[in-house]
Amino acid sequence: MSLGGVTFHEMAEQELYDATSYYEGRSPGLGTAFLDEVEHAITQIREYPVAAPQIDRLIWRKLLRRFPYSIMYSVQDNAIRILAIANHKRRPLYWRKRV
Q: Residue 54 maps to which CATH number?
A: 3.30.2310.20
Residue closest to 69 by CA, chosen among 89, 46, 92, 40: 89
**Is 76 inside a domain boundary?**
yes
Is residue 62 within 8 A of residue 41, CB to CB? The reply is: yes
Note whether residue 81 is domain-resident.
yes
Write down the pTM of the prediction.
Answer: 0.88
**Three-state SS at 26:** helix
Residue 98 is assigned to a structural domain of this protein:
no
Domain that holds residue 10: 2-87
Q: What is the pLDDT of residue 98?
A: 79
Q: In whole angstroms, what is the distance from residue 78 CA to residue 50 CA? A: 11
**Domain count along the chain:** 1
What is the per-residue pLDDT for 1?
Answer: 58
pLDDT, position 76: 81
